[in-house]
Amino acid sequence: MTSRRTRIYEGKAKILYEGPEPGTVIVHFKDDATAFNAQKKAVIEGKGVLNQRISEFIFTRLNDLGIPTHFIRSLNVREQLVREVEIIPLEVVVRNVAAGSLATRLGLEEGTALPRSIIEFCYKNDALGDPMVSEEHITAFGWAAPQEIDDIMHMSIRINDFLTGLFLGIGIRLIDFKIEFGRLYENDMMRIVLADEISPDSCRLWDTKTNDKMDKDRFRRDMGGLVEAYQEVAKRLGIISENEKPERAKPKLVKSD
């Protein structure tokens, strides 16, 4: 099915193919999981499908709210058609509660609510391990213009407000998440749109009652039960039904070299 398509790019968790029309791209969600800049790798059967379906659900709602995204439509359970954008080389992290690298960096206890939501920028560069950068670096090196940073921050806050409410309504606390943006060129116009994905791979999601982790930290921290946790997120969002069969096999650990 996919072999005759032209592959544009293969990342750690997704493959991009040329789309059916100019200006479109097909995103294929792989079952591969990586952490710590791909030092840790595994194939977790069913993860790609769950991420595609959860991301489709969220991007559709964001589009409906007037937050522009690259998403056009899903093609099948694992693939979606999106608009071709020029990716801005930044990972935008929005945090509501201290966890992960922020907790380590500032010596905060994981789970401490932050005084307000905090936006961080990392320069998207695997060889450098995605270092954190400031607006000064971003504008000085020309990765994004000041007006683009304003647009990105404004959209990030709106996305955080929407996601916080969406997850709270299904008993999930949105701790933090990472998003990416791209430049969409239409005729002579350019605008910034949300790109990439929003899924349990790119968010921290904790059950509000038990504090159970329902995200990729289960893989990063060798906790197991990743597919079951992602399935629970999908079930609570109403994407998959209670009795839908889990599409999974045991996670295979793949040695990195």
Give me the least distance between CB of 28 and ligand TMP, in Å please: 18
Provide the minimum distance between the beta carbon of 76 and ligand TMP in the complex, in angstroms, as a whole number.
24
Sign, CA torsion 115/68/24/237? positive
| Smallest separation (angstroms) from ligand TMP to the CB of 24 | 25
* Contact residues: ligand TMP, CB under 6 A: 93, 99-102, 130, 176-178, 202-204
Query: Which residues does residue 204 pair with via DSSP β-bridges, in sequence order?
Result: 176
Cβ nearer to ligand TMP, comparing 27 with 93: 93
Q: How far apart are CA 44 and CA 228, in angstroms?
A: 11
Q: How far is CA 70 from CA 21, 50, 142, 180, in A?
A: 14, 19, 22, 11
**Between residues 19 and 196, which has the closer beta carbon with respect to ligand TMP?**
196
Name the residue nearer to ligand TMP (CB basis): 2 or 104.
104
Separation between Cα atoms, residue 146 and residue 140, nearest integer Å: 10
Residue nearest to ligand TMP (CB): 100
Please state the closest distance from residue 205 (CB atom) to ligand TMP, in A: 9
* 15 vs 179, beta carbon nearer ligand TMP: 179
The torsion angles phi and psi of 135, rounded to 5 degrees, stand at -60, -35
